[in-house]
Amino acid sequence: MSGDIELIGVFSDDAQCAHAIEKLHHASIVEFHTFSPFPSEKMLEAVDEVREWGRSPVRKFVLAGGITGAITALVLTVGTSWEWNLNTGGRPIASITPYIVIIFEMMILFGVLGAVTSFFIKSGLPSFESATGYRTRFGADRFGLVVRTAESDSAKIEAMMREAGAEEVVREAA
């Protein structure tokens, strides 16, 4: 949108940043993203309230990975035993009890691979482009709130950010 700008609010405290997000939410402004040096529960809760994300989809990938791993291990162990159909002392060809160890380990292995893969996919990683408004301080000791807005609304949003405790609000062309 031509004429849009980006307002970058810099906060020294995550609670203040979360407060600013709540203020934006009350004003029905949802076009924003945040940066933080650690996963601040206050900020993530505030963002979640706006976006109604619910729980991360990563868990579904993990469940799928775990089930895939368990089935793969079952097929590998039972299939191999049937293929090498040797009766030793009348014991069952496919003894499920000892195979549970392998099924358990492969369930974990595939679940873990699912978790890491989905984390990368859902987080947009690897990424070679910088997110708009990123400052190196946001990886160190400051919390960032970046709002994309029309020039006409920028004064109101800047006031909200400052009211919430922003120590600095920077304007950038979108």
Partner 1 sequence: MAAAVDQSNYHNLSFLDVDRTAQRVMAPAGLKYWLWVGFCAFLVAVGGSFWTRQIYEGLGVTGYGQPTLWAIYITDFVFWVGIAHSGTLISAVLFLFRTRWRTAVYRCAETMTVFAVLTAGLFPIVHLGRPWFFYWLCPYPNERYLQPDFRSPLTWDFFAISTYLTTSTLFLSMGLIPDIANQRDISIGWRKKFYSVLACGWQGTDRQWRNFSMAYLLLAGFATPLVLSVHSVVSWDFATMQTPGMHSTIFAPYFVAGAIFSGCAMVLTLIIPMRKMLHIEDLVTIWHLDSLAKVILLTSLVITYSYSTEAFLVYYAQDPIEMTTFYQRFFGHQGYLFGGMVLCNCLIPLLLFSPSIRTNTIWLFVISIFVNIGMWLERFVLIAGSLSVATIPSQWKFYVPKVTEVMITIASFGWFLMNFSLFTKFLPIVSMTELKEGVGWLRKSARNTYPYGKAS
Binding residues for partner 1, rule: CB under 8 A, are: 33-40, 43-44, 47-48, 53, 55-59, 62, 73, 76-77, 80-81, 83-84, 95, 98-99, 101-102, 104-106, 108-109, 111-113, 115-116, 118-120, 122-131, 134, 136, 138-141
**d(C-alpha 85, C-alpha 97), whole Å:** 18
> 109: helix, coil or strand?
helix
φ/ψ (deg, to 5) at 33: -145, 160
* Beta carbon of residue 10, minimum distance to partner 1 (angstroms, whole number): 14
Q: Which is nearer to partner 1, 104 or 159 (CB)?
A: 104
Q: Which is nearer to partner 1, 2 or 97 (CB)?
A: 97
CA angle 21, 23, 27 (to 5 degrees): 115
8 A C-beta contact, residue 59 and residue 118: no
* Beta carbon of residue 170, minimum distance to partner 1 (angstroms, whole number): 17
Q: Which is nearer to partner 1, 2 or 136 (CB)?
A: 136
In angstroms, what is the C-alpha Rg of the chain? 25
